[in-house]
Amino acid sequence: MATQTFRFKAAPLVPASFTLDGDLLVYQQGLRRTPIPLAKVRTFAVRERPAFLGFTSTQLLFGLDTGDARRPTRLQRTMFDPKAPDCRALLDVLHARLPAADATKLPWVEAAGRLGVVARPWYEGFTHPRSIIAMVLLGANGFAAGTMPATGDSAERFGQGIVTLTVFSIAILLLVSGFRRTRAKK
């Protein structure tokens, strides 16, 4: 069987590739090489995430059989660009070679269960646009509250307190709704 190489960009100026040589898939990014024996692949799935500042955030995850009774599966994470033609071709090859291990057609929550990973980690809630706006509001509100001049007028101080409390409440509501929307994604 001929060696096949699937190339893509993991980040600007950072090439990455998958090389399929017989029953060995090798992921290479920079100087790091990660061999993945196809005979040990129990499950594979794609965890799609939006790119961030030109960096690919999507991962191709492999659940590998370790042969150990205490820890039967080892998770191998690799970067993956679902928009790159070579990456789509790699998925086609993997689907043809390992149809029983393919979890790419399943919803992510089910695929994560088969891989043994948490489908929606808690920290992903911070990446939702509402959560980002909430954190900016909280920071600006804290800065504004810390730099308010001390006035002798109690009505003015009361008004400042009401505005600070209102902005704080809106920021907390945005933060909670961002986390909930992230958890509700399919």
- What is the chain's pLDDT, residue by residue, as a tens digit (186 residues)? 678 889 888 877 888 999 999 889 999 988 889 999 999 998 999 988 777 666 777 888 999 888 777 777 788 889 888 888 998 999 999 999 888 888 888 887 888 888 887 777 776 777 778 888 898 998 998 888 888 777 777 888 888 888 888 998 999 998 888 878 877 765
Task: Determine the Cα–Cα distance for residues 15 and 27; give it in Å rounded to an integer.
Answer: 11
pTM score above 0.75: no
Q: Which of 31, 12, 95, 96 is nearest to 60 (CA)?
A: 95
Task: Determine the Cα–Cα distance for residues 57 and 67; give it in Å rounded to an integer.
Answer: 30
Is residue 125 within 8 Å of residue 183, measured between CB atoms? yes
